[in-house]
Chain A
Amino acid sequence: MSASETSARAIRVPILTRVEGEGSLLIKLRAREIVDVQLAIYEPPRLFESLLRGRPFADVADITARICGICPIAYQMTAVQALEAAFSVSVHPEIRSLRRLMYCGEWIESHALHVHLLQAPDFFGLDSGIELAERFPDEVKRGLRLKKIGNTLLETLGGRAIHPVNLAVGGYYRLPKAADLKALIADFEWGLEAAIDTVRWVSTIPLPSIELPYDYVAIQHPSEYGIIEGEVVCSDGLRIPHTAYEQHYAEVQVPHSTALQSRRIPSGSSYFVGPLARMNLNREQLAEPAKRIADEIDFPTPCFNAYYGILARSIEVVHAFAEGLDHLRSYRGREQARAAFQIKRGSGCAVTEAPRGLIYHRYEVDDQGRIELAKIVPPTSQNQAQVEQDLRAFLPSLLDESDAEIALSCERFVRNYDPCISCSTHFLNLRIERE
């Protein structure tokens, strides 16, 4: 037996770039055997759930928005909908339409950033979006303009693009003027065509081939692409009302990470949330332009190649512009910004689809409207166990590479998930130990 077959090896990635947050990855190898893969979140817990206890319900949307600067709408929307469930509030259809529009804005800005500046450089062997801009200036400029349109919409509906302040239990604090939304139509018309061109460009990028078995989980709605409500469905056939989420999915603590990992109950297996899950489960409900471009580029369904996440994200940008246009064109304006309701003791939960996957909130409220219990399950913590499992499957093909090459490949692979580690905490140092 040669020395290389018995030697121990530890590989570490000090900082994973182009993801939000910090964490570390440790890979332990004994000869050609993968002993352990640990995605470790070492940032101190942020304790948002505890921070909310005792606070008035009206504070929840503003506080939870602070969990993430990329996807504050996901946190706010899920929070207010969970509280609306607790108070038995129904929102007006036009308010619901504005909420879907708002969510489209968040998908656009988040996906455009990830596709152009965070992930695309990987496929050209480039270190950053800045280097990509030199090679593909028109595509990067187009991506930045797409992102800006998403931000402008969020500012119009939410008061500001980062950490908006306008969502309220029952509706909004203040409704936008119809003219302000109509003014965005031209940008959205341009954006729809530009997003389609982006999908065509992304489809020319040679993506690595890898197929792994996934249980995809996303929300599904009978009449629309699942974004703000629906049943929780899994690609293995499990279909549950969102109120049963905690009976089938649970967060567990692992010794190497300060962030909880979600697993399925009772199997303890991992699952995958996000654009690829949504595309696999809900493709037929995409807006027509998105469906057409997905067909045009022969997007495979089912698709078990995580690298296709960049294509799924691009297609969802098309969907968001197409759906957003419908909402913009149909908005007439209304007097009442939010529904009246009685504060009462109760509990409620909600699920929505953050740009990077399903997010779940549950709150218990006392008879004064103060939060007694808060539970927040962000998408990145749901994907963490899947990331570890995938790396175990992915690593054997890399073992002949240098530690530096392995570290780089792992970083690139992890970026498929568009992890927002700040949401659960932060990422990534990679450490590989070869025993």
Chain B
Amino acid sequence: MVGIGSPHGNDRLGWDLSQLLAGQLPAPWAIRQARVPTDLLDWMQGCERLHLLDACPVVQEVGRVHRLEWPDARILQARTVTSHDYDVPQVLQLAERLGQLPVQVVVWAIEVDSDVDLVPIPSWMVAAACLIRNDVLLEETV
């Protein structure tokens, strides 16, 4: 379970969510925080299920959670305009070409606006963490 972002501004959403989920998932789940998507490549070895936590622009409402499973076209469309580095879709494609992509890749995209304050952690983020945890645990039992 990897939160993508940084400790700054609203970019922290992925990291905050990963911290909320720390200790809530059974072994062998591991929680990580990635500053850049290429960090993911370091953690894919031996990984069967990869879940990513990331912010996305508001379409419906702040805090709305979307579960997208690779190769959902919406993940591929979520391209950033930078060439500073590889973005999430590119890293997943790269991992696929390198034969490193886990069997299951889920992207949890949570809607957030740039002017929403994430400190202190808002109740909708706690609710999002619960939803994600419950979904993961439910899948474990199936």
Chain A interfacial positions (CB closer than 8 Å to B): 18-21, 69-70, 113, 117-118, 129-131, 133-134, 137, 140-141, 144, 147-148, 151, 155, 160-162
Whether a CB of chain A sits under 8 angstroms from the CB of B86 is: yes
What 1/0 mask marks residues of chain B from 1 to 36 whose CB sits below 8 Å from any chain A CB? 000001000000000000000000000000000011
> What's the minimum C-beta distance from A162 to chain B, rounded to whole angstroms?
7
Choose from B35, B39, B42, B94 the contact partner of A133 (Cβ within 8 Å): B94
By beta carbon, the residue of chain A nearest B93 is: A130
> What's the minimum C-beta distance from B93 to chain A, rounded to whole angstroms?
5
Q: With a CB–CB cut-off of 8 A, which chain B residues contact A133?
A: 94, 97-98
C-alpha gap A144/B94 in the complex (Å)? 11
Asked if A20 and B36 sit within 8 Å, CB to CB, the answer is: no
Asked if A137 and B83 sit within 8 Å, CB to CB, the answer is: no
Asked if A69 and B84 sit within 8 Å, CB to CB, the answer is: yes
Q: Report 10 cross-chain contacts, Cβ distance below 8 Å, ordered by A residue.
A: A20-B83, A130-B90, A130-B93, A130-B94, A137-B99, A140-B98, A141-B41, A144-B41, A161-B35, A161-B36
Asked if A19 and B83 sit within 8 Å, CB to CB, the answer is: yes
By beta carbon, the residue of chain B nearest A161 is: B35
Classify the secondary structure of B's interface with A. loop
Q: With a CB–CB cut-off of 8 A, which chain B residues contact A134?
A: 97-98
Q: With a CB–CB cut-off of 8 A, which chain B residues contact A155?
A: 35
Asked if B97 and A131 sit within 8 Å, CB to CB, the answer is: yes
Interface residue total, chain B, C-beta cutoff 8 A = 18
Q: With a CB–CB cut-off of 8 A, which chain A residues contact B83?
A: 18-21, 118
C-alpha gap A117/B94 in the complex (Å)? 11
Choose from A20, A137, A147 the contact partner of B38 (Cβ within 8 Å): A147
Q: With a CB–CB cut-off of 8 A, which chain A residues contact B98?
A: 133-134, 137, 140-141
Q: With a CB–CB cut-off of 8 A, which chain B residues contact A18?
A: 83
Q: With a CB–CB cut-off of 8 A, which chain A residues contact B39?
A: 148
What 1/0 mask marks residues of chain B from 65 to 105 whose CB sits below 8 Å from any chain A CB? 00000000000000000111110001001100111000000
For the complex of A and B, the 10 pairs showing the least CB-CB separation, nearest first, are A69-B84, A134-B97, A133-B97, A20-B83, A130-B93, A137-B98, A130-B94, A70-B84, A133-B98, A133-B94
Task: Assess A130 versus B85: contact at CB under 8 Å? Given A144-B38, A161-B36.
Answer: no
C-alpha gap A226/B36 in the complex (Å)? 30
C-alpha gap A147/B86 in the complex (Å)? 12
Chain B interfacial positions (CB closer than 8 Å to A): 6, 35-36, 38-39, 41-42, 82-86, 90, 93-94, 97-99
By beta carbon, the residue of chain A nearest B99 is: A137
Most buried by A among B42, B93, B94: B94
C-alpha gap A3/B124 in the complex (Å)? 69
Q: With a CB–CB cut-off of 8 A, which chain A residues contact B93?
A: 130
Q: With a CB–CB cut-off of 8 A, which chain A residues contact B35?
A: 155, 160-161
By beta carbon, the residue of chain B nearest A151 is: B36
C-alpha gap A160/B6 in the complex (Å)? 9
C-alpha gap A21/B39 in the complex (Å)? 24
> What's the minimum C-beta distance from B117 to chain A, rounded to whole angstroms?
21
By beta carbon, the residue of chain B nearest A147 is: B38
Asked if B36 and A129 sit within 8 Å, CB to CB, the answer is: no
C-alpha gap A82/B14 in the complex (Å)? 38
Q: With a CB–CB cut-off of 8 A, which chain B residues contact A118?
A: 83
C-alpha gap A277/B88 in the complex (Å)? 35
C-alpha gap A376/B6 in the complex (Å)? 29
By beta carbon, the residue of chain B nearest A22 is: B81
Asked if A20 and B97 sit within 8 Å, CB to CB, the answer is: no
Q: With a CB–CB cut-off of 8 A, which chain A residues contact B97?
A: 130-131, 133-134, 137
By beta carbon, the residue of chain A nearest B42 is: A148
> What's the minimum C-beta distance from B34 to chain A, rounded to whole angstroms?
11
Q: With a CB–CB cut-off of 8 A, which chain A residues contact B42?
A: 148
Most buried by A among B83, B98, B99: B83
